[in-house]
Amino acid sequence: MGKIAFLFAGQGAQYAGMAKSLYESSSAARTILDEAERLRPGTLELCFTGTKEQLSLTENTQPCLMAVDCACDAALREAGVRPDGLAGFSLGELAALASGGMLPFREAFTLTVTRAELMARCARRFDSGMIAVLRLPDDTVEAICRETNAYPVNYNCPGQVVCALLKSDFPAFTEAVQAAGGRALPLAVGGGFHSPFMREAAEGLRAYADTLTFRDSAVPLYANATNRPYTAAQAAALLSAQVESPVRWAELIRLMQADGYTAFVELGAGKTLGGLMAKIGGAQIVAHVEDAESLAETFAML
């Protein structure tokens, strides 16, 4: 087997009951989640019993998912599995920072809370959202975006691009996608992320990140903004750029594969990244950890 990559899940996969079985079965996961609760009281209740409406609020979604990502990471490491490299999809990149030791968990979590509040503020200012476009080539989606005031923001896998746009433009955008032979699926997220709608959030995050002291990651951590490994000196700029720039996930994964990664373990709620891996192809092993059962299955597989 080649190198193992840990991939940290992003926003949109949240659900009530996240990481509850890991909290009950893994002391390492429990330590992470208890620290998140100490730093932001109410986080555990949201993770374990929050309503769909509560968990869909960006200011709640991001801290909860980041804590769950890190709890899954801690549980897998406690079981004896270590990564050779890291990447996180959007929000997941902040969990990857903590996993790689670029920031202590408490600082990475507080950074996440700040990011969530800044992005939620932008989302309230611009009544925007995101739509996944399926079954169309990237260049066709880009052309539709130019014609409908939308932005292609997540290049997830072949035949799947997520776009950010004002909700008032949803009908015209959806009609254009369907006319081109594609399918348009609105996503359960709180705003038009990774687009110019988030410009003020990016600026605010940069100002906050500049107050932190980053260390180089213990293993290569591939940045969404560049698809190349982080350095500590770049961290604040890369985190800021990520908020308002497209995530070219398929390209990032292919670059990791070119660097020798063959096993990819998704950490966090859901199996979204594993589903994208199946469409990107090229991996020998694709696994995930989100609860006690999947932890045992992934440990046995690896």
User: Catalytic residue numbers?
Assistant: 90, 194
Angle ∠(48,54,60) on CA atoms, nearest 5? 80
Within a 10 A sphere around the Cβ of 171, how many other Cβ atoms? 10
The distance of Cα 82 from the centroid of its chain, to the nearest Å, equals: 20
Q: Dump strand ranges (E) for the chain.
A: 3-8, 85-88, 128-134, 151-157, 160-166, 183-186, 221-222, 261-267, 285-289
Where on the phi/psi map is residue 149: left (φ > 0), alpha (ψ -120 to 50), or beta? left
Contact 144, 154 (CB under 8 A): no
Within a 10 A sphere around the Cβ of 139, how many other Cβ atoms? 9
Query: Could you tell me the sign of the dihedral formed by the alpha carbons of 239, 17, 271, 295, in that order?
Result: positive
- Round to whole Å and give the CA distance between 171 and 166: 10
Any idea which residue has 């991939």 for tokens?
7
Reported for 275-282, long-range contacts at CB under 8 A and 24+ positions apart, including other chains, are 276/156, 276/157, 276/160, 276/249, 276/250, 277/253, 279/157, 279/158, 279/159, 279/160, 280/157, 280/158, 280/250, 280/253, 280/254, 282/253, 282/254, 282/257
